[in-house]
């Protein structure tokens, strides 16, 4: 049973939800920019390898701290995954990430490796500082750039795309941290969300997502689509509905779910811009 359980435990240690979400988004970005199929497959594989390395580096770096506080949700802390196994997985995915990224061309490759480095820097200690939002902002802004720079004729993304990515990344960091604030404090993590508290983090995340909605609606060099106005209206309605609960009962899952729905709408609107990304 232990042999069969190891791959499952290793997958759990990779932080599968964000890993899968970012990988799927990269595939959708490639499709929306009409990236050639072969290049798109390389891009998705590079992003998957990078996200796996970031997720596993998180559990590797925090292994001793997670064990000390008895984190039962961490496979390494419970012994379901050994450090030797984790190290082997890290080396393999890091090497694959470098090779696959550079196969996209030096511009797209270095941009993606920079985004992955942001994830590693966050895990290595930036998450314990007031600048914990910065790696998320840079990495999320870089992802659309990887897609446009990997095109047959490389082109930088428009400024509004970079701004949208940075806003979404910062908001994702704040909202994602809220459910784990108490556990993080026990392990000594004191990033921006921990300093703001649950109410402040959710309120700021909502404001950043609304700002992203506005940028996506008016940023492209064409009149705003009807879908943009509808999305902006839905985002505003969701924020207005979720914010009172967030302020009164920050431990509730409802505000977090509402904010994630706003982020999802913003991502859809971003993908709808297609050729206007650059």
Q: Does 176 lie in the same domain as 218?
A: yes
Asked whether residue 147 is domain-assigned, the answer is no
pLDDT at position 73 = 80
> Burial of 163 by CB count in 10 Å (0-12 exposed, 13-18 middle, 19+ buried)?
middle
Q: Does 102 lie in the same domain as 11?
A: yes
Please count the structural domains in the chain.
2
pLDDT at 254 over 90: no
Asked whether residue 239 is domain-assigned, the answer is yes
Give 55-91 pLDDT, tens digit per residue. Answer: 999 999 988 888 877 778 888 888 888 999 999 999 9
Look at 106 and 33; give whichever has higher pLDDT.
106
Q: Does 268 lie in the same domain as 217?
A: yes
pTM: 0.88
Least confident window among 24-38, 42-56, 123-137, 141-155: 24-38
pLDDT at position 223 = 66
Asked whether residue 140 is domain-assigned, the answer is no
Asked whether residue 109 is domain-assigned, the answer is yes
pLDDT at position 84 = 92
Asked whether residue 143 is domain-assigned, the answer is no
Q: What are φ and ψ of residue 27, in 5° steps? A: -65, -40
Q: Does 162 lie in the same domain as 64?
A: no
| Helical ranges in 103-158 per DSSP H | 106-124, 133-149
Q: Does 175 lie in the same domain as 66?
A: no
Give 181-220 pLDDT, tens digit per residue. Answer: 877 777 778 899 999 988 888 889 888 988 988 888 887 7
Look at 247 and 100; give whichever has higher pLDDT.
100
| Domain, as residue range, for 9 | 1-131
Q: Does 42 lie in the same domain as 1?
A: yes
| CATH, residue 105 | 1.10.357.140
Give the torsion sign (CA, 29, 33, 35, 37): positive
Asked whether residue 246 is domain-assigned, the answer is yes
Q: Does 211 lie in the same domain as 125?
A: no
Q: Does 173 lie in the same domain as 127?
A: no
pLDDT at position 5 = 55
């Amino acid at each position: 049973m232990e042999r069969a359980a190891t791959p499952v435990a290793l997958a759990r240690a990779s932080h599968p939800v964000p890993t899968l979400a970012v990988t799927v988004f990269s595939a959708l970005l490639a499709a929306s920019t009409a990236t050639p199929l072969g290049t798109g497959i390389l891009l998705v594989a590079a992003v998957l390898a990078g996200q796996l390395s970031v997720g596993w580096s998180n559990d590797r770096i925090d292994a001793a701290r997670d064990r000390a506080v008895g984190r039962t949700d961490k496979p390494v802390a419970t012994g379901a995954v050994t450090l030797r196994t984790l190290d082997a997985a890290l080396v393999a995915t890091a090497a694959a990430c470098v090779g696959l990224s550079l196969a996209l061309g030096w511009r797209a490759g270095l941009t993606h490796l920079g985004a992955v480095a942001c994830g590693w820097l966050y895990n290595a200690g930036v998450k314990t500082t007031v600048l914990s939002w910065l790696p998320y902002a840079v990495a999320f802004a870089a992802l659309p750039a990887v897609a446009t720079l990997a095109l047959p004729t490389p082109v930088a993304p428009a400024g509004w795309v970079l701004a949208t990515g940075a806003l979404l990344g910062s908001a994702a960091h704040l909202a994602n941290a809220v459910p784990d604030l108490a556990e993080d404090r026990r392990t000594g993590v004191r990033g921006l969300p921990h300093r703001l508290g649950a109410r402040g983090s959710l309120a700021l995340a909502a404001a950043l997502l609304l700002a992203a909605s506005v940028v996506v609606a008016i940023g492209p060099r064409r009149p705003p689509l009807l879908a943009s106005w509808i999305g902006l209206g839905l985002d505003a309605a969701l924020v207005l509905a979720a914010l009172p609960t967030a302020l009164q009962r920050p431990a509730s899952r409802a505000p977090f779910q509402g904010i994630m729905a706003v982020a999802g709408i913003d991502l859809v609107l971003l993908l709808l811009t297609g050729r206007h990304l650059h």
